[in-house]
Chains A and B, each alone.
Chain A
Amino acid sequence: MQAPDASLARLIDRVDSARARRAPLEIRGGGTKRFYGEAPAGTPLDMTELSGISSYEPTELVVTARAGTRLEDLEAALEEHGQCLPFEPPRFAQGSTVGGMVAAGLSGPARASAGSVRDHVLGITLLNGRSEVLTFGGQVSKNVAGYDVSRLLVGSLGVLGIICDVSMKVLPVSVATTTLTFDWDEQQALENLSRWAGQPWPINATAWHAERLYLRLAGARAAVATACERLGGERMETGAAKTWWLGVRDQSAEFFALDAASSARGESLWRLSVPAVAAALALPGQQFIEWGGAQRWWRTTAPGTEVREAAARAGGHATLIRGADRTQVFAPLNSVLMRVHQGLKKAFDPDGIFNPGRLYAGL
């Protein structure tokens, strides 16, 4: 094992001292997702110094970057070689980082067809709560040596340790992309999405809002052209389509912005993850549907219990994304799963110093 570099060595020192003082740390990258999860607690630990692309070989379809690397820098490097992060991680604002992307585990519009952040993570180097630097997975896509700890860390919100380096599978940008729109109500949109899901169309992303379905096709030129011909709808102008999908991806579209007035009305933004074929959900407020029906955003004044029950009845779960009352953000776990969570926390972070309570109280 090579000697850790200066920035990693400083992180190890910080962990040592936090353990000695039992003083929790809030692991922080670009700080663009501090709104997500339960309220952050602890002394901020800045990760942006640990940055840079450590290796990138386009022919391997693999990139390795340090946690503090800005997503915009990583994506620009990939773009130079005609490649991308196919799961379109939301950036929310400038400065979001690779580590934050993995820790939050959030994926963008193409998730239903291209897979999630977790699906693309190949390896992670972790600094755990015993100040040990550990590497799990690697830089190859087929790897079953040991438990798949690197993917366990995706979406862990930093509660198991500090994500230091990440290796990811990347993909070529599609040759052809076209967005079609259909003026359909929710029922029509859901029915057609369900029908198309069982057919070999090159559907890359879907979004439904305000009585309109947006369908992004991506793939081989011929495949996209045929799909445009057969599926009908209106073709969206390229620039406008790009802007629209960016708004969805980064949640900069108007629907996702909760201002003071909406908060005053008691509105919260919820994310409901349900089976794509779930029937229309009856909640008060406005809805934005993605992932072929599998991700349904609600701006609603309904109390949390009502939202959670609606999600559970549909076979899924609900997460509070933005709202006044930031407690019980994630759907509660049953006792068996909670016991496993507690066991994992103890195994990785025995002194409980990393992002305490960010995922669940007590973790």
Chain B
Amino acid sequence: MAVSVSTSLAGPEVQRLQRQNDVVAALIKVLPHEAILFRHEDTAPFECDALTAYRNSPMVVVLPDSEAQVAAILRICHKMGVPVVARGAGTGLSGGATPHHTGVVLSLAKFNKLKIDPKSCTAIAQCGVRNLAISEAAAPYGLYYAPDPSSQIACTIGGNVAENSGGVHCLKYGLTLHNVLRVRGFMADGEAVEFGSQALDAPGLDLLSIIIGSEGMLAVTTEVTVKLIPKPQLARCIMASFRDIESAGAAVASVIAHGIIPAGLEMMDKAMTAAVDAFVHADYDLEAAAILLCESDGTPEEVEEEIAHMEAVLRAAGASRIEVSRDEAQRLKFWSGRKNAFPASGGISPDYMCMDSTIPRKRLAEMLRAIQQMEAKYGLRCVNVFHAGDGNLHPLILFDAEDADEMRRCELFGADILETSVRLGGTVTGEHGVGVEKLNSMCVQFSPAERAQFLGVKSAFDPLELLNPGKVIPTLQRCAEYGKMHVHRGMLPFPELPRF
């Protein structure tokens, strides 16, 4: 009688335990005991990344410390058909590192060797090296690594490669893509591979381009060569206030139209400045409908010339108040508010959902108006911080996760923002990635043929679909489900698709 368990419930669980046994037995031959975790209490910390709403219990977690071990793990998983989810620091915001229920989490945290080569202005970093650690190690040579995602104190360079991370300075200095020369890693079958080179290009198709931002679905990254650039001698920041969001949006366009590429150009709306000022006292103008932070960096001569130019343009664009940082302490104070936008939002609401879409800069004011209307429509508040220079928006929708109806309205609000972004000529993710969070939105942005082409790319690298399966590219079926409620680019969704 003991075996007559309800097979519909226990069957899959028993199978999973059996599978776990087999996989652990295979892995134990190539890894020390302590590098394999499979008991629930040990694997629990790996159940999610920074998008904590999505959780999954991994079957096994492995913590290799050498490339040989990574290759061996991948060979075993390939042979046994086990999904592999590579993981860095787990700071991702879109669930890209969400484990697979019957898969292995490949934690690359132990890959933390870093070599700075000041002569060639490059660094060779193992994938688990933290983003900020590269700039810290390069500082004695007057060099730094430019992309600075807000999580840079914790996030790893391997994760940055997976997400093509940006930061507040990418208008001038580019994204991860523009600052990486070479990625070394392993294919799904465990074969070693290198994309790019120590030179500025490599023969053949530009595979480095497609690896960067592929969210761990095409290959496993173990080592990255990045460019280092001379640290600017000086940076100064302007804080400009505007009485209405239209003129703030127009000012952003005007700065660019005048041939200025600021080192950073950020925008916050009134609700946001109120929240952050209460949190860090950044001396923001609380009367302004929106404020801009506009930064110049370079040699003292360059900065002086550029700040004067920026100031004149912002004034002409109707800034009601302008303050230029006098010294480094004041500059950091200006930025302290911007950098604390997320925690400050946590201070005024039980929960918030951070959105991440990009629109053409000229549509900023229009988008803010649309978001204001959505606040009324969904009965929720939203505070806004924008990387205005790149048109990258981070609206933070405030809600209470304990309230099921608020949660539901928040999700609809978020989807509305993303779809409005696509309609305004933008994209559903600027820098946080698709992961699992934006799979539905991918159905809105891409046609079935485009998504099928993405799957073709996946298959060229990973024909068995073992690397981070289920992320980034939604299945036709999923989009069909989602499409029942949505219309794509003015056409009925997927007319060619059979309906059952």
A positions within 8 Å CB-CB of B: 1, 57-62, 82, 105, 111-112, 115-116, 118-119, 128, 130, 132, 134-136, 138-149, 151-152, 154-156, 160, 171-173, 175, 194, 197-200, 202, 219-223, 225-226, 273-277, 291, 294-295, 315-317, 319, 330-333, 336-337, 340-344, 346-348, 359-360
Contact = CB atoms under 8 A, between A and B. Distances in A.
Contacts of A275: 120, 198-199
Contacts of A112: 200
Contacts of A1: 447, 489, 491
A309 B121 CA distance: 25
Given A171-B261, A219-B302, A340-B461, A118 B429 contact: no
B361 to A, nearest CB: 6
Interface string B172-207: 001101100000000100011100011111111111
20 contacts: A1-B489, A118-B206, A128-B453, A134-B449, A142-B392, A146-B473, A147-B454, A147-B458, A148-B209, A152-B206, A152-B457, A219-B298, A220-B306, A223-B299, A226-B301, A275-B199, A277-B119, A291-B200, A317-B202, A341-B204
A197 B207 CA distance: 27
Contacts of A147: 210, 213-214, 218, 454, 457-458, 472
Given A136-B450, A316-B199, A336-B193, A59 B254 contact: yes
Contacts of B498: none
A140 B206 contact: no
Contact of B170 (A128, A142, A276, A317): A142
A147 B452 CA distance: 12
Contacts of B358: 140-143
Contacts of A60: 253, 256, 360-362
A144 B431 contact: yes
Contacts of A138: 425-427
Nearest to A82: B259
B233 interface: yes
A273 B199 contact: yes
B45 interface: no
Contacts of B178: 115, 119
Listed residue (B200, B304, B430, B489) with the most chain A CB atoms within 10 angstroms of its CB: B200
A152 B205 contact: yes
Give 10 closest A-B pairs by Cβ, nearest first: A343-B460, A347-B456, A222-B301, A172-B259, A151-B209, A142-B430, A316-B199, A59-B253, A331-B203, A200-B230
A154 B174 CA distance: 18
A144 B299 contact: no
Contacts of B473: 146
A223 B163 CA distance: 35
Contacts of B207: 152, 337, 340
A151 B454 CA distance: 14
Contact of B205 (A140, A141, A341): A341
B267 to A, nearest CB: 15
A41 B311 CA distance: 57
Given A143-B427, A199-B230, A148 B210 contact: yes
Contacts of A116: 200-201
Given A134-B447, A277-B120, A347-B459, A145 B199 contact: no
Interface string B249-292: 00001101101110000000000000000000000000000000
A61 to B, nearest CB: 6
B212 interface: yes
Contacts of A136: 450
B433 interface: yes
A314 to B, nearest CB: 8
Interface string B370-412: 0000000000000000010011100000000000000000000
Contacts of A220: 298, 301-302, 305-306
B429 A145 contact: yes
Given A118-B209, A155-B206, A198-B141, A317 B199 contact: yes
